[in-house]
Amino acid sequence: MTRFGRTDLPPEQARALRQAIGIEVFTICYTAVTIVVVALVLGNSQAMKTAWIEDIFSLTPQVAFLVALIFVRRRPTKRFPFGLHRAMGVGHLVAGVALFVVGANLAFEAVTGFVEGDHPTIGTIVLFGQNLWLGWLMIAVMAVIAIGPPFYGRYKLKLAKKLHNKLLFADADMAKADWHTNAASIVGVMGIGLGIWWLDSAAALFISLGILWDGVKNTKAAVLDLMDTRATSYDQKHTHPLIGQTNELLGGLRWVRKNAVRMRDEGQVFHVEAYVVPHKSRVKLSTIEAAERAIVGLDWKVQDVNLIVVSELPPEADASLPDR
């Protein structure tokens, strides 16, 4: 439960992971309910249909996260000597591509609907003996189900930061922006109600472009990590400070003349290669191992560390120091 490959999670992260599993399962249940409820009032609004399909596909990051966890927790083997951490990245990529394809498809449908001048038809229903325009019910449903995501989105964001999990971050980011979808579908249905039929297509286009954009962002983020980009923060906005910290640590050792690191993000933990040019050509094994242990001690994410003694630093390795 509390293990990532060869990385044992510290208590804080282990707790955050349990919370993350809990909130992801909760989200799947919540979304399943909203999918059923929206399906009942779907009608002919393209905006509603788009929002509904977005709901369905918003499940992919959560499912990908939970499935990836099964693999990520396995210890490295001879066949998978680096562990199975990349499962998280693969899940992220799958979610990103799915969102992209669905978003593009829905955007196309919205534009076609507009060009063909589709006038969406929404009739009435009888509710408690009263004849009610179904549009009112759609608006009510969309307004009510918009309440959940911003709350659990914020909660997931905190967990994503603690766990350094980019899939969870993407999921949180999408949940936080989910109310845009609901607002847009309400505008679309109101448009139909007011006789402004094209507002429905416009709202559908707005929602589908949001999905498309989520797809682009997630695909890009997943591909960057799978291509072994230099380790970054969980939101991919900055170079990860551990690169600088590792260099600072090595630079502070008396036997080290020059140093640089190659650090890649395997999904939740890092793989670190530290290159060191020593002052003397003879270095004791125990000295090297002590430095390795010191790097491992920097952070829970760095457990897989190789310290390599060289005569010259490889130019690609990063010799930067943390920003002060």
Partner 1 sequence: MLKRSPLSLVALALVFALAGCGSIPADPDGTLEQVTDGVLRVGASPDDGLISVAGNEVSGDEAELVEGFAETLNARVEWTIGGEERLVGQLDTGKLDLVVGGITDATPWVESAGVTRAYPAMPGADGRNIVMLVPLGENRFLGELERFLDAAVGE
* Residues at the contact surface with partner 1, assessed by CB under 8 A: 44, 118-126, 131, 133, 135, 174, 177, 180-181, 183, 186-187, 190, 192-197, 210, 213-214
Residue 134 vs 269, nearer CB to partner 1: 134
Pair of tokens at residue 289? 């191992």
Residue 142 vs 163, nearer CB to partner 1: 142
Please report how close the Cβ of residue 126 comes to partner 1 at its closest, in angstroms.
Answer: 5
Residue 7 vs 182, nearer CB to partner 1: 182
Please report how close the Cβ of residue 43 comes to partner 1 at its closest, in angstroms.
Answer: 10
Please report how close the Cβ of residue 68 comes to partner 1 at its closest, in angstroms.
Answer: 23
Q: Note the helical H segments in the chain.
A: 11-40, 46-57, 60-72, 87-115, 134-145, 148-163, 166-176, 178-193, 198-226, 241-251, 285-296
Please report how close the Cβ of residue 46 comes to partner 1 at its closest, in angstroms.
Answer: 12
Please report how close the Cβ of residue 233 comes to partner 1 at its closest, in angstroms.
Answer: 20
Which residue from 107, 137, 110 is spatially nearest to 124, judged by alpha carbons?
Answer: 137
- In this structure, the chain runs to a length of 324
Asked if residue 13 lies in contact with residue 300, where contact means CB atoms within 8 angstroms, the answer is yes
Q: How far apart are CA 308 and CA 261, in angstroms?
A: 10
Asked if residue 72 lies in contact with residue 87, where contact means CB atoms within 8 angstroms, the answer is yes
Q: How far apart are CA 239 and CA 233, in angstroms?
A: 6
Residue identified by tokens 């063909």 is 116
Residue 193 vs 251, nearer CB to partner 1: 193
Residue 82 vs 213, nearer CB to partner 1: 213
Asked if residue 264 lies in contact with residue 229, where contact means CB atoms within 8 angstroms, the answer is yes
Which residue from 232, 235, 261 is spatially nearest to 247, judged by alpha carbons?
Answer: 261
Please report how close the Cβ of residue 136 comes to partner 1 at its closest, in angstroms.
Answer: 8
Residue 48 vs 90, nearer CB to partner 1: 48
